[in-house]
Amino acid sequence: MKTLISAETVRQAKAGGQTCLAAGKDVLVTPEARSLADELGVRLDDSADAPTLIKAAGATEDPAMASIRAAVLAKLPADAANKPELVDQIVSKVCLAQKNAAAKPQVVATASATKTAAAAGIKLVKGADVHLGVFPGAGTDKQVGIADVITAADGAPIAAGFMAWSQCFFPWTLDYDEIDLVLEGELHIRHNGQTYVGKSGDVLYIPKGSAIEFGTTTAVRFFYVTYPANWQG
């Protein structure tokens, strides 16, 4: 029976730190899987005797991965070590689950940040001490996190802060101008039937009066600046 390599197979291999998948005569590879493999840097080995999952030549397994593998083997039957394909698949799924869990923002009831003021009106906000609170405008069930770190209370004509969430969209109409700098993940802006996707390092400008949907299909964390400062009314 032929083995199938799908796009999901490639994703799991990448998440598990694998760099090569067997793609010999007894393996069917979907066009989407080939395209994704090229994009993610996972080699498809056409050698008939290639193992299903291969590490790069000379590579050593990441300590975290080795720890996960040991934990998986400890819970499987004694003969599991003779089934490397099965073990690799389980390890890949565990790694992917941990990665997705780590991407979810930590949201508390009330936002907070450590802020230091200087005599000249300069404010220093410690990013490591910023804790996101729930943004009610998105719906409390969606756990969209937000923390205003610069506001009108600081004597500023603009406001700034952080937002983060995972796998959800919510509608919003802006009564102010906004600039967003994506720090992690993907920020999706839907407007008039089009979706604009900002990734890490990208900047998006949303003009006043725009009726949009903020969202992400994965997870996102970004820094925003708004004008005027009292954007929440």
Q: What is the pLDDT of residues 156-209, one digit of tens each?
A: 999 999 999 999 999 999 999 999 999 999 999 999 999 999 999 999 999 999
Poorest-pLDDT segment among 7-16, 196-205, 212-221:
7-16
* 216 compared with 48, residue with greater pLDDT: 216
Q: Note the pLDDT of residue 43.
A: 81
What CATH number should be reported for the domain whose range is 107-227? Answer: 2.60.120.10
* 100 compared with 44, residue with greater pLDDT: 44
pTM above 0.85, yes or no: no
User: Which residues does 67 contact at the CB level (< 8 Å), separation at least 6?
Assistant: none
* 195 compared with 34, residue with greater pLDDT: 195
Could you tell me which of 112, 114, 118 has the C-alpha nearest to residue 132?
Answer: 112
Q: Note the pLDDT of residue 38.
A: 82
DSSP collapsed to 3 states, the chain: CCEEECHHHHHHHHHCCCCEEECCCCEEECHHHHHHHHHHCCEEECCCCCCCEECCCCCCCCHHHHHHHHHHHHHCCHHHHHCHHHHHHHHHHHHHHHHHHHHCCCEECCCEEEEEECCCCCEEEEEEEEEEEECHHHCHHHCCEEEEEECHHHCCCCEEEEEEEEEEEEEEECCCEEEEEEEEEEEEEEECCEEEEEECCCEEEECCCCEEEEEEEEEEEEEEEEECCCCCC
Q: What is the pLDDT of residues 89-118, one digit of tens each?
A: 777 667 666 555 555 666 776 778 888 887
Judge whether residue 54 has pLDDT over 50: no
Q: Note the pLDDT of residue 76.
A: 76
Judge whether residue 36 has pLDDT over 60: yes
Domain ranges of the chain: 3-103, 107-227
* 138 compared with 17, residue with greater pLDDT: 138
Residue 71 has phi, psi (to 5 degrees) of: -65, -40
Report how far residue 45's alpha carbon sits from residue 17's, in angstroms, rounded to the nearest whole number: 16
Average confidence (pLDDT) over 32-57: 64
